[in-house]
Amino acid sequence: MQITLTRTNTPTPAMPTQADWFASIHKVAHSAGLEAGMNALPEPMTVTEADLMGNPIGRSWTVSEGACGFAWVTFAGNTPWGRWAKAQGIASKGYPKGLQIWVSEFNQSVDRKEAYAQAYAKVLREHGIEAYAQSRLD
């Protein structure tokens, strides 16, 4: 029995690097966050002019996007994911520790920003990265 080995000119696909893997996780997480933010239903907020005691004195209007606020995703900085995210400019120093990814999408709507942060953090957790969504009102 004779075995003939032939050489082909088709390149073998390279194994993805850790950086490639992290970039794909970020892409999936960002897409999930955008979808969640777009699908969020902010509770409209009514704003009324008032005196220093809180007594209404003027006009009122409704803010359809709800309350104003901020949201972010936090995770440990001393991990391969954390180092990669910081090196890419995606993450910055979190307080009091770790790193954070700030949600800059969706203008001032805290409801939409929270939805984004929760979806992003969920994707990270599904890939074994401990992450949490946080937010606060403005």
User: Does residue 48 sit within a domain?
Assistant: no
Burial 122-136 (b: 16+ CB within 10 A, else e): bbbeeeebebebbbe
The whole domain housing 89 covers: 20-40+67-137
Query: Whole-model pTM?
Result: 0.84
Share of the chain above pLDDT 70, in %: 91
User: Does residue 3 sit within a domain?
Assistant: no
User: Does residue 95 sit within a domain?
Assistant: yes
What letter does residue 72 receive in the DSSP assignment?
E
> Of residues 13 and 60, which shows the higher confidence score?
60
pLDDT in tens, 64-99: 999 999 999 999 999 999 999 999 999 999 988 999
- 13 has pLDDT over 70: no
- Cβ-Cβ contacts under 8 Å for 61 (sequence gap 6 or more): 46, 47
Mean pLDDT of the chain: 92
User: Does residue 53 sit within a domain?
Assistant: no
